[in-house]
Chain A
Amino acid sequence: MLNHEILAATRRLNDYFLHRDSLYPSLEIRRQNLQQCAQVGSLRRLKRQEILEASRGRALVAVDGSRADYGGIYPYNVCAIQALARASTESEPDRLTDAAVYCPLDPKVYAEIKEAAARNRVEEAEAYRKLMGEKMAHMELKLAIKALQTIKPYMLMLDGGFLLFDRFPEWDELVAEALNLDCVLVGVIEEVATSELCSLTGLEIPGMRIYDREFLFGLLKPGEMAVVGGEKAIKRDYYTVFARMGSTPQAVACDFLPGQGEHLVPAMNLIYSLTPPQGRGIPAWLDLVDREVRLNKKSMESLIMNGLDPAVRERFFKSNRERRGL
């Protein structure tokens, strides 16, 4: 059944977007804007020999986490988190894992939620959601340090930008370890959600906040990257590389440490070599780890079925919504 009111509202929204699009400067001007603050360059797929020389037999490690919820609305909810660091080589171990389960009804967890809600002045439910995200990033971070120490890879890919991780005390340890082992640390950002790049270029449209996502959409050609960093860094002092590695017009971003500037181009070329040309532009190894770690609804449910008594499940976690018959 089509709701005509909703349809009409959606069409009005669409008109706005068309209008917004018309306010944009042309592609050429946007490229000029970009070139003022970023170094635009081409990526190149590496030859076998180059890869072997750079890696010298060391592994590629990707760290990724996944979380899944079960239950009704806050606080009757269970959150499972797991993280995986996987090495490309057959090193022993080639996988490091960690996992945890949280529930707001657990007094220890609740104390943390309450504290975070007060600190950030948000509701408890919102605080809980954010807290779980942080717990996962924290877990990934700790796993990354462990992976650095035991696997000593050539490159370690984190799923997400550095800003996600550098709030934790262990971040400095990770950075020190990476510099010490000469391991390239990369934070791969799938969804660019910043607006800093755009403001850096000086592009302004009155009355409208422009996000980097739309600014970059279609701006880079396939196999092109734009590097910002040094004095013009947009996130602390990190290098951030926007790149279009796949066929989709949307760019992804990669964060690099300020101390690893010299590795940036070869590392980006390697990441590009690992990215399927037809696709969303994410390096295959990260996708692979993502796939392995992913907690889907079905597996979460079977974990709950196995782990919780049916009585507990019914009393605390089964939402009334689930009992709907219609």
Chain B
Amino acid sequence: MQVVGKTNERDVWVASKDRPFRLNELLVVEGHSPETAVGEVVETYSLNPLVPLVDEGSPYLMGHEIVSTLRDFGYELERDTVYLGKIRVISELFYPVKTGSQARVPDFAEVADLLVQARPEQAMALGVILGTDTLDPTLPEELRGLAPLFEDGKVVQQQGVPFLLDYRRMQDYPHIGIFGGSGSGKSFGIRVLIEEFMKKRLPVIVFDPHYEMSFSDPLLPDLPPGFRESFDTAFRILTVGQDVGVRFDLLNEGDLCNLLGAVSPLSEAMESTARAVLMKNDSLATFAERLDNLIELMENNEADYRQEFFSRGSGPDREREWKRLKVLQNQVGQPASLRAIRWRLHSLKREGIFNQAGIARIEEGLRNRQVVVVRGSIRMLRVYASYVLRHLYGKRREYRDAMQKGQSAEGFPPFLVVTDEAHNFAPKGDHTSPSLREFREIAQEGRKYGVFLVLASQRPALLDDTINAQLNTKIIFRTVRSMDLSVISEETDLGREEIRRLPYLPSGYSFISSPIVGRTVAVRIRAAKTRSPHQDNPFDELAAMADARLGEFRAVLDKYLPLNETYLNDVLQELENRGIRMTRSEMDSLLEQMVERGELIKDDTSFVTVYRPARQ
């Protein structure tokens, strides 16, 4: 292998007569002062002077016959094949690479600094660096077995150098973005990342609109012994409105306005109305009642309404409430604002967001250094995430600020926020989005308080620009849309060659661009240890369901065969006795299916149709 052509200090062509180059493999260029230069292969070519170029008007096409005659004389066309590789120099050089110098495959030790920046116990093993297979024989023991791969339905041994991301350096370079279209392996990437968080016992809150972040089921029933790992104590799943929610009695005016505004933006008049109507220690019921009363008061004759109001109850409390209503009546100009607040409140109530459990169990999980998965519909989560993040982030900030000032405060751990479909939580160009403010704030100053974002999205182009710019580490899977590609090319240091490869990356292959690593690395993400509950193919599920139904039916039918059509109702009766509800038309369809499959013979030669078993 030899450096050929005109060179500079960054891009170099290397030619070889006998060895094809491999994308992403590392090569050492010898004879360099002050040291050897290391480069990564970014483009590969093979060419043969005897096989014409496609655009050359075929000056010389050697026919098959000639080639085979030459072969009889011991000549193989391939002997004249030349391999070319374009190498991007990774080492920092200040002079051009010497043209004509020899290149070779390095030992691991020679390139260790460029590939591995952290010790395995301090870092997350996300996958295998592509093109490092040749370094496998010289890989030290401690770097082996960290990142097995998933291939052809099996988990296979790690071959090559593991990609280790030092999560501690998020202190300097916070926030991670994970981008990729559907089927690109993005979901697996998030899963692997969360598994690594769990291994390191980092407090993490995951917003899970897809109900897929469960870590109980192993990827395969027979995982290799060293690879299998149980995360049962490392995560908890909480559903909004069921396990967690918003405690109304703890809401302050600001929280309330945010929640109401999350349903639909509030005008200034509405906001001041909501602030005025909320009283300390209000429950959802008392607040809602006050709203109703106030609307009634403003829309009816005061004397009539007063009578009605006191007819429903009396006493000093009632008197006090009446006075309050009278004060509010003057403060609130229009009943329209009240109505606007009322429908927003009802909407939230219907979503089930108000729940006495509050966020206690989320806090508890984070304090226990668990991964807390919060599930809910995407609409609900957008509202809820904003509430939860404000509180959690607030607690963390208060604690850190108090520490700074030397005051004592209740401790609250640093934590990470993970979410898929991030463009829904922090959309570009939609300033009314309920959770945008919180995500932006964390993106911009979360680092100071040890709060970090991991945002995944299919559409980086739809993610808020400010946030996008703050995602220091980006893991990029296959991306096809040109808009997304252009965002990626602006927001990362991916080169022209890599951008060109992005639409064709196989599932699970990614480019990781991170200042923690210092350059863009092509990584094949490791096999996840666990699987999503949705991993079954829905069509398999459909077939299984149909088979199960048919099986139930077949078990009953067997006793009635051969079956005269007139007794079909008996079969239905028997099915019902066994607790299987079936309509006549479903039964007809099942019988037809069995005839089609050749299990039954339909005999309608006589007056009535008779179903007979095909085999006796």
User: Interface on A for B, CB 8 Å cutoff?
Assistant: 45-46, 48, 51-52, 55, 57, 59-60, 87-91, 154, 273-278, 284-285, 287-288, 291-292
Q: List, sorted by A's number, 10 A–B pairs whose CB atoms are closer than 8 Å.
A: A51-B72, A57-B74, A88-B73, A88-B75, A90-B74, A274-B66, A276-B66, A287-B60, A291-B49, A292-B49
Residues of A within 8 A of B63 (CB): 276-278
Q: How far is the CB of B60 from chain A (nearest CB, A)?
A: 7
Closest residue of B by beta carbon distance from A277? B63
Taking a contact as CB atoms under 8 Å apart, the answer to whether A60 and B79 are in contact is no
Known A-B contacts A285-B70, A288-B50; A45 and B65 likewise in contact (beta carbons under 8 Å): yes
Taking a contact as CB atoms under 8 Å apart, the answer to whether B66 and A89 are in contact is no
Residues of B within 8 A of A278 (CB): 63
Identify which of B60, B70, B73, B79 gathers the most chain A CB atoms within 10 Å of its CB.
Answer: B73
Identify which of B62, B74, B79 gathers the most chain A CB atoms within 10 Å of its CB.
Answer: B74
Cβ of B264 < 8 Å from any Cβ of A?
A: no
Taking a contact as CB atoms under 8 Å apart, the answer to whether A284 and B72 are in contact is no
Q: How far is the CB of A150 from chain B (nearest CB, A)?
A: 15
Taking a contact as CB atoms under 8 Å apart, the answer to whether B72 and A48 are in contact is yes
Taking a contact as CB atoms under 8 Å apart, the answer to whether B73 and A275 are in contact is no
- Sorted nearest first, the 9 A-B pairs with minimum C-beta distance are A89-B74, A88-B75, A88-B73, A51-B72, A60-B73, A284-B66, A273-B69, A88-B74, A276-B66
Cβ of B230 < 8 Å from any Cβ of A?
A: no
CA distance A52 to B74 in the complex (A): 10
CA distance A302 to B50 in the complex (A): 24
Taking a contact as CB atoms under 8 Å apart, the answer to whether A88 and B70 are in contact is yes
CA distance A273 to B70 in the complex (A): 9
Cβ of B68 < 8 Å from any Cβ of A?
A: yes
Closest residue of A by beta carbon distance from B75? A88
CA distance A22 to B69 in the complex (A): 42
CA distance A292 to B61 in the complex (A): 16
Q: How far is the CB of A216 from chain B (nearest CB, A)?
A: 24
Taking a contact as CB atoms under 8 Å apart, the answer to whether A51 and B69 are in contact is yes
Known A-B contacts A57-B74, A59-B74, A291-B49; A90 and B79 likewise in contact (beta carbons under 8 Å): yes
Q: Which of B45-78 contact A (CB under 8 A)?
A: 49-50, 60-63, 65-66, 68-70, 72-75
CA distance A285 to B75 in the complex (A): 10
CA distance A139 to B284 in the complex (A): 104
Q: How far is the CB of B82 from chain A (nearest CB, A)?
A: 12
User: What is the size, in residues, of chain B's interface with A at 8 Å between Cβ atoms?
Assistant: 17
CA distance A173 to B170 in the complex (A): 79
Q: How far is the CB of B570 from chain A (nearest CB, A)?
A: 78
CA distance A101 to B72 in the complex (A): 37
Known A-B contacts A55-B72, A88-B75, A90-B74; A275 and B66 likewise in contact (beta carbons under 8 Å): yes
Residues of B within 8 A of A91 (CB): 74
Closest residue of B by beta carbon distance from A273? B69
User: Interface on B for A, CB 8 Å cutoff?
Assistant: 49-50, 60-63, 65-66, 68-70, 72-75, 79-80
Contact partner, A274, options B61, B69, B74, B80, Cβ 8 Å: B69
Q: How far is the CB of A4 from chain B (nearest CB, A)?
A: 33
Taking a contact as CB atoms under 8 Å apart, the answer to whether A284 and B73 are in contact is no
Residues of A within 8 A of B80 (CB): 288
Taking a contact as CB atoms under 8 Å apart, the answer to whether B74 and A46 are in contact is no
Q: How far is the CB of B96 from chain A (nearest CB, A)?
A: 16
Known: A277-B63, A288-B50, A291-B60. 6 other contacts (CB 8 A): A48-B68, A59-B74, A88-B75, A154-B73, A276-B61, A292-B49
CA distance A46 to B73 in the complex (A): 13
CA distance A88 to B65 in the complex (A): 16
Residues of A within 8 A of B69 (CB): 46, 51, 273-274
Closest residue of B by beta carbon distance from A285? B70
Residues of A within 8 A of B70 (CB): 60, 88, 274, 284-285
Taking a contact as CB atoms under 8 Å apart, the answer to whether B73 and A51 are in contact is yes
Taking a contact as CB atoms under 8 Å apart, the answer to whether B75 and A89 are in contact is yes
CA distance A288 to B77 in the complex (A): 11
CA distance A284 to B73 in the complex (A): 12
Closest residue of A by beta carbon distance from B66? A284
Residues of B within 8 A of A277 (CB): 63
Closest residue of B by beta carbon distance from A90? B74
Residues of B within 8 A of A274 (CB): 66, 69-70
CA distance A89 to B76 in the complex (A): 8
Closest residue of A by beta carbon distance from B77? A288
CA distance A241 to B60 in the complex (A): 25
Residues of B within 8 A of A275 (CB): 66
Residues of B within 8 A of A287 (CB): 60
Closest residue of B by beta carbon distance from A287? B60
CA distance A291 to B80 in the complex (A): 12
Closest residue of B by beta carbon distance from A274? B69
Residues of A within 8 A of B75 (CB): 60, 88-89, 285
Residues of B within 8 A of A288 (CB): 50, 80
Q: How far is the CB of A42 from chain B (nearest CB, A)?
A: 17
CA distance A51 to B71 in the complex (A): 10
Q: How far is the CB of A148 from chain B (nearest CB, A)?
A: 16
Residues of B within 8 A of A55 (CB): 72-73
Q: How far is the CB of B4 from chain A (nearest CB, A)?
A: 12
Identify which of B50, B60, B66, B69 gathers the most chain A CB atoms within 10 Å of its CB.
Answer: B69
Closest residue of A by beta carbon distance from B67? A284
Closest residue of B by beta carbon distance from A55? B73
Residues of A within 8 A of B65 (CB): 45, 273
Taking a contact as CB atoms under 8 Å apart, the answer to whether B73 and A276 are in contact is no
Q: How far is the CB of A154 from chain B (nearest CB, A)?
A: 8
